[in-house]
Structure 1
Amino acid sequence: MDALDAPAFTLRQLSFLVCAADEGTVAGAAARLRVSPSAVSDALSELERSLGTRLAVRRPARGMTLTSSGAEVVARARTLLAASRELEGSLRGAPGELVGPIAIGCYPTLAPTILPPLLERFGQQHPRVSLEVVEATHDRLEHRLESGELDVAFTYDTLVHGQPRRATLFELIAHVVVAADDPVAGQERVRLADLAERDLVLLDAPPSTQHTLSLFAAAGVAPRVRHRVQSAEAVRALVGRGLGYGVLVQRPAVPVSFEGRPLAIREIEPAVPPVGVEVVWPAGSEPTERTAELIRFARAQRWTVATGAAA
């Protein structure tokens, strides 16, 4: 039999056998289980047919006696039934208590914003829920959602394909970041056209690459890309050293580079369209109660638009 094939017998049949062995009679097992004696008798007969061996000798006047095979099956059934109860208990808590795992996917650049408040606060409220995090690119997130490997994912709205269920948590607006001593730092707002002849440190990681270039295209100019890097922290680090300017969506709570160099964040003029940050879950099946509660929790947070962090 293949390891993935289901056995021919059921846990219900095993529980009936164990109960009958404990009570010594089919009638006693039926009374304890609150079923008819015929239901117990039929379950035992079906179990014997499935296993291909006689498990008990049933005599109406003298009760039931286990055969040697029956005694072995009862011993193993007790272990199997205990394991099944433990499995059920690990996924079902007291009334109102959420128990079990939630597989959470998150786009990497959103992880520092979404995960800390989510894991801390939801974890405190539901300590028996195990939150398992997977950071992955949008194509891998999409595949894992469709396959059921992930229960929920957090990503940018521009990355969501197909027809999953989704809800917007907050929106972020792209900004220009420059060194604190850059002449642009003295302006309240910056036109992308005025930056076209300056060096751009490009966050070259989808969807940021396409998003940034689309903003320049909408402004009718092409940027002069000097450096291409894979993380927002790298952009801020190079900008802090005066090696160009950056265009980013995520905003740190403190405007400094990784090296501690001061930065200035300036809004783009004219205003550019915001980018939505969404929670996404599969459309093919209803989420578990604990996953549904996580979705409600995320949607209920007062996410601040400036940093994306939960207030």
Structure 2
Amino acid sequence: MHLPTLRQLEFLCAIADEGSFSKAADACHVTQPTLSSAIKETEALLGVQLVERESRGASLTRAGAAAVERARAILSDTADMVSAARQAGAPLSGPFRLGAIPTIAPFLLPRTLKALRQSHPELKLYLREDQTERLLEGLRARKLDAALIALPWEASGIETMELGEDEFLLVAPTDHALAGADHLSASDLVEEDVLLLEDGHCLRDHALSVCRLPSKRGGADVTATSLPTLVHMVAGGLGVSLLPKIATEAGVTSGADVALRRFDTPMIGRRIGIAWRTGSPRAAEAQMIGEIVRAVL
């Protein structure tokens, strides 16, 4: 009994993803005739039409959609097998796909990458910066091997390891009353216009929670898309904000006319952790990377 090859399954999945033979061929780095021939051979092996060839693209038949679902699982399991064998032979060698949220990636990854290059020179790291939900989707879909996120975060099918705490500091215009106050506590922010990142960033939720501020507040209705933008908004006199200590240590306020203040009682705004898919053959490697991040922290 002849079976489709893994390459033929990759071609079929590419057509499902790209919607045309030409785009699928480009994605697989083959010529269109090569891909078209492979699909015809697959259809002949299975005895059923998988793809509808149309003038402006291609679509899957009902049988094709069912075959793609199985093909994705087979390709994913094969990748897991390769990863498990590689890990058994030489952990943290070859490609590893690591994600990180935007309020961690630019501030923690440079130091982490330097440490990884020194300790595991054979590791080829692929990085992806995105918000937490999409990173977790990438883990579940096996498109990522691990992700650096802010804890706490509960998600089905995902395991995490805490790596360290991240303190929040107040950032305010240099002439703001809180910049020179003798004492500073979370209660001092209740009447202030506290600037936050836009919805979707977990740092926003952590800031609201640690200061016990309502998610829908009066006052400033201004949000930022990134921490550097947030700093410039503070420097412009639009309000005050909270910054993770790792961001301030990396110089996110450099050159801005702002003051940084610690709270009298250190404000632990979030915990940094690494996440991986439950049952992943690269779980041990994710934890090894986590230990390196812990040392950097």
TM-score w.r.t. length of structure 1: 0.59
Residue by residue over 1:186-205, the C-alpha shift from the partner in whole angstroms, topping out at 9 and shown as x without a partner, is: 12542344333333322224
1:296 matched residue in structure 2: 288
Counterpart contact for 1:102–1:130, Cα < 8 Å = yes
Structure 2 segments unaligned to the other structure (5+ residues): 10-81
Specify every segment of 5 or more residues in structure 1 that has no aligned partner in the other structure, as ranges.
Answer: 8-87, 304-309
Aligned partner (choices 210, 217, 241) of residue 215 of structure 1: 210
1:257 to 246, 253, 257: 253
* Residue of structure 2 equivalent to 1:22: none
Deviation by residue 1:42-97 (Cα, 9 ceiling, x = unmatched): xxxxxxxxxxxxxxxxxxxxxxxxxxxxxxxxxxxxxxxxxxxxxx9xx869x768
Q: Provide the C-alpha distance between the structure 2 equivalents of 1:4 and 1:165, rounded to a whole number of angstroms.
A: 30
Secondary structure of 1:261's aligned partner: coil
SS at match of 2:207: helix
The verdict on how the C-alpha distance between 1:120 and 1:255 changes in structure 2, with shifts beyond 3 A counting, is closer
Tell me if 1:116 matches 2:149.
Answer: no
Distance 2:144 2:234 in 1: 36
Match of 1:130 in 2: 124
1:142 aligns with 2:136: yes
The residue type equivalent to 2:105 in the other structure is A
Look up the SS of the partner of 2:279 in the other structure: coil
Considering Cα pairs closer than 8 Å and 6+ residues apart, tell me whether 1 or 2 has the greater RCO. Answer: 2
Q: Distance in 2 between matches of 1:264 and 1:131?
A: 36
Number of positions where the alignment pairs a residue of Structure 1 with one of Structure 2: 219
Identity fraction in percent: 25
Which residue, 178, 183, 187 being the options, matches 1:184? 178
Distance 1:145 1:117 in 2: 23
1:146 to partner: Cα distance: 1.2
Q: TM-score, normalised to structure 2's length?
A: 0.62
**Post-superposition shift, 1:270?**
6.0
Q: Structure 1: how far apart are the matches of 2:161 and 2:98?
A: 15
CA-to-aligned-CA distance 1:261-296 (integer Å, 9 cap, x gap): 232222346665541100111112332xxx734532
Q: Aligned match of 2:195 in 187, 198, 201?
A: 201
Question: How many angstroms apart in 1 are the aligned matches of 2:171 and 2:141?
Answer: 39
Higher Cα radius of gyration = 1
Cα displacement (A) at 1:184: 1.2
- 1:117 is paired with a residue whose SS is helix
